Amino acid sequence: MAYRTYLMVCAGTGCVANQSMKIKDKLESEIRKRGLQDEVSVVTTGCNGFCAVGPLMVVQPDGIFYQLLKETDIAFLVEEHFVKGRPVKELLYTPPKEKIPIPKMSDIPFFADQTLIVLRNRGLINPEIIDESIARGGYEAIAKVLTSMTPDDVIREIKASGLRGRGGGGFPTGIKWETCKKMPGDVHYVICNADEGDPGAFMDRSTIESDPHAVIEGMLIGAYAIGSTEGYVYIRNEYPIALERLQTAIKQAREYGLLGKKVFNKDFDFDIKVVRGAGAFVCGESTALMASIEGRPGEPRAKYVHTVERGLWDKPTCLNNVETWANVPQIMLRGAQWFASIGTGDVTADPWGGSKGTKVFSLAGKVNNTGLIEVPMGITLRKIIFDIGGGIRDGKKFKAVQTGGPSGGFIPESLLDLPVDYEELTKVGSMMGSGGMVVADEDNCMVDMAKYFLSFTQTESCGKCVPCREGTKRMLDILEKITVGEGTEEDLVLLEELSNMVVESSLCALGGSAPNPVLTTLKYFREEYEAHVRNKKCPGHSCRKLITYAIDPQICVDKGHGCHVCAKNCPDGAIIGESKQVHTVDVMKCGKCGICYDVCKFDAISVE
C-alpha cells in the first residue's frame, strides 16, 4: 500500500539508547488515534548519522528533519504536522548560535556537504527488510556481475576504480583480489573484518546497521572474482544491534537464493558465516582475526607469507573491511570511471597514486555535530570539523584532531587545511585509519591524550613480541611520570627514542603504530610536555597532580548566594563553608575529582 507520508525513525545504536523505539510506538499510537494509519507509515531505519541530535526522525517525501524528540512531544507533533499540516518549529534543527530553524534535512550543513556511496541507503530503508534494499538497487550489481562479467573483468574494474582498503592500511583492493585469485588450491576464503576496535570509531557498526545487504553483496562479488564459496564476517560482540541485523540480512538473502547454492541460478555457490569477536583489539589485525576464527587466542604472526597466500586454515584468504566491501556493488553498477572521478591523485599508473571515492568518518569529541559522515577523499579537515561538524562545542578553542585511533596521531590547527588522503595523513605522522576522528579542545591535555592511547595499546598488546609488550610499558611509565610532575627533560628524549624503536621492531601493526600518538604530540605539542616537565603545570587542566581547584568568593556569594551544592556533592568533604556563606576548597583534602566544577551553576569554581 502506498502511504502519503513516511516517518523514518532512526533506530541506530545511539538513537535506540535515547529511547527512539518508544518514540516510534508513541507515533504509531497517536497516528492510529487520529485514524491516519492508512496514510502515514512509521519506518525504523538504520543510523541516520546525526547522532548528536537523536532521537531523530525524517518525514518523507518532504525531507523534514525532526530532532531531540521526547515522548511527550509526539501527540502535539502528530496533531500539528500530520493533521493540520504545520511543521513544528521547536523540534526542527537550529544551528548553534542561530535563531532560524532549518526544516529540510538536505539544507542542514551537516548533511549538505556529504557524498554518500557506502551510506547511500541510510535512513531510507528498513535494514531488516530485504525488499527495501532491493527496491533501492540492492543485489543489482551481483546480478550484473554474474550475468555479464568474468572474474577477471571484475578485478580489472576494481583495480581501475582505485579502491583502497578502508580499514586503515589503504592497500589497493584490486591487487589484493588478483593476488588471492592466483593462489593455487580449491578453497579460498573471503572475510569481512567488522572487528571495529578503534575507540571513537563506529563507521562499520553504522554501515551494517543501516545497510547490511551492501556488505553481503560486496562479499558476493569479491567471492565470485576470487573463486571462493565460503565467507566469514568477524564482528564485535559489543555491537548487538549490528550483529542481529546482519544475521537477519543473511537469513533473508538465503531465502531469496542470493546466498547458498547456485546464486541467481548460475554456477556459483557462496555462503557467509558470522563469527563474533570476544573483546580483543588486536583481533582487528588480519592474522590475529583469522586465529580467532579458528578458535585460538588472537595473536598475530609475522607476515613474510601474506594471508592472500596462506590465511584462514592456511588457505588463500582475502580479507577486507566492512566499508571496503560496501563500496564494491556501487563500483560495479556505476563503473570504475565514476568512482575514480571522486577523490585525489591518479591511480592509472600507480595504484598507490591517489585516494579515490569517499571515506566514512565518525566525528566525535568536542564538536557540535557528532555523528557519522561520508565525505569525498580530498576534503580538508577544516571543512569536516568546522562546516560539517559545526565547530567546537561551547565556544571553546580547537586544539587538535585525532585520526586513525590508537594507531594514528594528533593533527594541530596549523595543518587543518590538509586534504584527507592516505598519503597526506601519513606524511604528518597520523594515518587515515579506519575513520575515527576525535576532536580535542583547549581543555584537553595532549600529554594525557597520548597517555590514554598508549595505555589502550599497552593493555591490548597481545604480548607475543617484546618491543610491543615491554616497549609500550616503559613508554607508559615515562608518560605517567610526566603527568604526575616528576618528568625530566631527559625523559622526553628517551620517550622519543623508545617510540622509534617500538615502531621499527614490533611484529605487527599494533606495536608498529602504537607510538604514533606520542610521536605526534611530541612533535606538535612539545610545549605542553615542557610545561609538565619544567613548570610542573598542566595547560589542559587534566593531570590531577598538577592542578588545583579554587572557588571565587565573589561569584560564590554574589551570584550563587553560597548555595552549598558543591559542598553537598564533594566526596572528600573538602569544601568548607555554611549555606548562604562563602565556600572554600581545602586543598589538602581535595581529591580533584572535579564534581564541584561540574555541579556549580554559577561558574564560581576554577581550575589552575
Partner 1 sequence: METQVVENILQRHPKDQSSIIQVLLDIQNELYYIPRDVLEYVSDYLNVPLSRTYGLATFYKAFSLKPKGKYPIAVCTGTACHVQGAVKILEQIERELKVKEGETTPDKKFSVETVRCLGCCGLAPVVTVGKNLHGKVPMSKISKILKQY
What is the rounded distance in angstroms from the CA atom of residue 76 to the CA atom of residue 578? Answer: 46
Q: How far is the CB of 200 from partner 1 (least distance, A)?
A: 3
The answer to whether the CB of 268 falls within 8 A of the CB of 227 is no
- CB of 81 closer than 8 Å to CB of 107: no
Q: Is residue 287 at the binding interface for partner 1, with CB under 8 A as the rule?
A: no
**Residue of 259, 440, 514, 519 interacting with partner 1 (CB under 8 A):** 440
Q: Sheet with 40-45: list strands edge to edge.
A: 40-45, 5-10, 57-60, 64-66
221 scored as a contact of partner 1 (CB under 8 A): no
Residues in a beta bridge with 235: 194, 276
CB atoms within 10 A of CB 120: 17
Task: Using alpha carbons, list the distances in angstroms from residue 379 to 367, 374, 506, 553.
Answer: 18, 11, 33, 48
Whether residue 74 contacts residue 33, with contact meaning beta carbons closer than 8 Å, is answered with: no
The helix (H) or strand (E) run that includes residue 24 is helix 20-33
Is residue 278 within the footprint of partner 1 (CB under 8 A)?
A: yes
Total residue length of the chain = 608
- Span interacting with partner 1, options 155-163, 275-283, 334-342, 580-588, rule CB under 8 A: 275-283
CB of 354 to partner 1, least distance (A): 29
Describe the strand order of the beta sheet including 409-412 as a list of residue ranges: 371-376, 358-365, 436-441, 398-403, 409-412
Instruction: Return the residue of 70, 144, 276, 469 that touches partner 1, per CB under 8 A.
Output: 276
The binding track of 566-595 with respect to partner 1, each residue x by CB under 8 A or -, is: ---x-x---------------------xxx
**Site map for partner 1, 351-370, x if CB under 8 A?**
-----------x-xxx---x
Task: Quote the CA–CA distance of 53 and 56 in Å, as a whole number.
Answer: 7
Interacting residue with partner 1 among 3, 264, 352, 452 (CB under 8 A): 452
Q: Which is nearer to partner 1, 437 or 478 (CB)?
A: 437
- Total chain residues near partner 1 (CB under 8 A): 60
Q: Is 516 in the site for partner 1 (CB under 8 A)?
A: no
* x-marked contacts with partner 1 along 7-46 as a string, rule CB under 8 A: ------xx-xxx----------------------------
Q: What does the alpha-carbon distance between residue 46 and residue 126 come to, in Å, rounded to a whole number? A: 7
Output the CA torsion 40→44→47→50 (10° steps). 30
Nearest distance, CB of residue 599 and partner 1, angstroms = 5
The verdict on 549 binding partner 1 (CB under 8 A) reads no
Q: How far is the CB of 13 from partner 1 (least distance, A)?
A: 5
Q: For residue 371, which of 164, 132, 210 has the smallest C-alpha distance?
A: 210
CB-nearer residue toward partner 1: 248 or 505? 248
Secondary structure letter of residue 187 according to DSSP: -
The residue ranges that bind partner 1 (CB under 8 A) are 13-14, 16-18, 51-52, 54, 196-202, 205-206, 236-239, 275-281, 292-298, 362, 364-366, 370-371, 402, 405, 436, 438, 440, 444, 449, 452-453, 456, 460, 462, 569, 571, 593-595, 598-599
